[in-house]
Chains A and B, each alone.
Chain A
């Protein structure tokens, strides 16, 4: 990106000053290197989001931002319903509430020596992944509506997990205000066999080793020590969320003119929050959030079954579960006043600071765990929300490494078997039904996650707590 268009506010904050149709500034948090490597399109998309009605403060982009469609991936934008603010299906994305859940195992890395192949095989066989994967759980219409209204809480009630799991999931495992009636039959049909499936693309299930601790107090609160064995699941709302995105993108595109909204590009399709369509999407999108929470809960159950069989000593408990494609109703202090706004985070994670009432008691004094997925060959990080985070971008942080190279370029450059071979030589066992999928997800196709996390910390969005490296990775 050409930095001439930007005003450098501080070492890690770059401003696109309001111009033309923009109703607010654009703000990108990044290091000089990350910003140089960012596509020009990020700047254009941040500016386009700033032109949407009712935007509050600014249109933000996180350090892992990359060229999306409509909103940049890594974009954060808040809208005020009392100022004509909008909600955008494209601003949430197709994979509603895609997110990361990290689990404790109660084990150390050494405990699985000699068992790693067996665990990798066990997880690969148990967890449906890849194109067209279907789970063992079939939901009829009634059960589907219950799942969409109940989220992870529904899954626990059906025997997939323990009540205590729910305390460590955003919204206690169930977001209020879901309206399954607003979700199309097509979307429900796509989901009827997909609860408890991982999906494909950048989704994964990893067994990880904690290699470094940066913040002892937060690590202690989260229950993280060096050499711990953790498990992370990255996936979302599967076919249901994808179809809700498809359905509402179409509806919002068709009705934008009727609402008097001029769209810089169709992908930014949106509707006023106080319109019937806006409310309908909100109810459907919240059903999508519950679907993702139920999905990750059922996947956790499958992981528990595998570990119960192979590693009966393991105690699988939740560290945290956080979504990174959502629009959430939150209260924030804006110009000294507490205002209710709807925050789109597309490829961005909530990062609430210490003392937030939303957090479980064990974590409240340190802040919210922010789970950052890396690539299968590098590292993942656990961060913690800071007191300054609220001031920066409504308590938001990055969500992953962010792609650096297109899938088309990646598959030309690498062969999946070679990528898997190199990773195995480095101690990472990869299991996937698709070797071309592995090539497209090669670690070299992503930005350096450590640099993204470093910039996130330096920009005061969140603070590093621990670094984890993969030992086993089941790719979709």
Chain B
């Protein structure tokens, strides 16, 4: 599950899942939800994204930054993600297609993932939450 949360100037994105990996997959969808309607993005092309960071929070930032980079340089949007995490090393896959403004109902570019409201935690219910504010 993903959702957006309130930030006065920008947008907060939050991914929730059964594992940290799933929370990061959902957070990536939350990021796409800032830019477009991710449900409308077809999985025509698959790309690999690998990152590594000293802790879980910085790993989320790296993961989101890497997706932002792929969107910007490939001119693609993504609608599906898969993440595997071992020892703060992330191996990710993203499926998507070239940007089509009409089809994807594009909204706004994301400039970067910020450290504001940054959290990757397992809550009392045993759910993993991965969140931060993104700059648009």
Contacts and interface: CB of A to CB of B under 8 A. Distances in A.
A and B found bound together: yes
A167 interface: no
B107 to A, nearest CB: 5
Contacts of A186: 69
B7 interface: yes
B115 A407 contact: no
Contacts of A418: none
Given A130-B101, A246-B112, A437-B107, A406 B136 contact: no
A418 to B, nearest CB: 16
A440 B108 CA distance: 9
B53 to A, nearest CB: 9
Given A69-B116, A70-B116, A246-B65, A132 B75 contact: yes
B35 A131 contact: yes
B135 interface: yes
A145 interface: no
A242 interface: yes
B132 to A, nearest CB: 9
B103 interface: no
Interface in A190-227: 190, 194, 199-201
B10 A130 contact: no
Interface in A232-271: 239, 241-243, 245-246, 249-250, 253-254, 265-267, 269
B13 to A, nearest CB: 10
B73 A189 contact: yes
B50 to A, nearest CB: 14
Contacts, number: 131
Interface string A378-407: 000000000000000000000000011111
A70 to B, nearest CB: 7
Contacts of B99: 131-132
Interface in B85-136: 99, 101, 105-109, 111-116, 118, 133, 135-136
B106 A433 contact: yes
B115 A131 contact: no
Contact of B72 (A41, A132, A433): A132
B112 A242 contact: yes
A186 B108 CA distance: 21
Given A67-B8, A267-B115, A132 B109 contact: yes
A17 interface: no
Contacts of A408: 4-6, 11-12
A476 B107 CA distance: 9
B11 A406 contact: yes
B97 to A, nearest CB: 12
A17 to B, nearest CB: 25
B36 interface: yes
B111 A73 contact: no
Interface string A403-446: 11111110000000000000000000000011011001000000
B61 interface: yes
Interface in A74-97: 90, 93-95
Nearest to A66: B8
B136 A200 contact: yes
B31 interface: no
30 contacts: A41-B8, A67-B9, A69-B114, A94-B112, A130-B109, A131-B99, A132-B77, A132-B106, A186-B69, A189-B73, A190-B72, A201-B109, A201-B136, A241-B111, A242-B68, A242-B72, A245-B112, A246-B68, A246-B113, A253-B58, A265-B115, A265-B116, A267-B114, A267-B115, A406-B8, A408-B4, A408-B11, A434-B101, A434-B108, A440-B107
Interface of B: 4-12, 35-36, 54, 58, 61-62, 65, 68-69, 71-73, 75, 77, 99, 101, 105-109, 111-116, 118, 133, 135-136
For the complex of A and B, 4 pairs with smallest distance between CB atoms: A69-B116, A131-B106, A266-B115, A242-B111
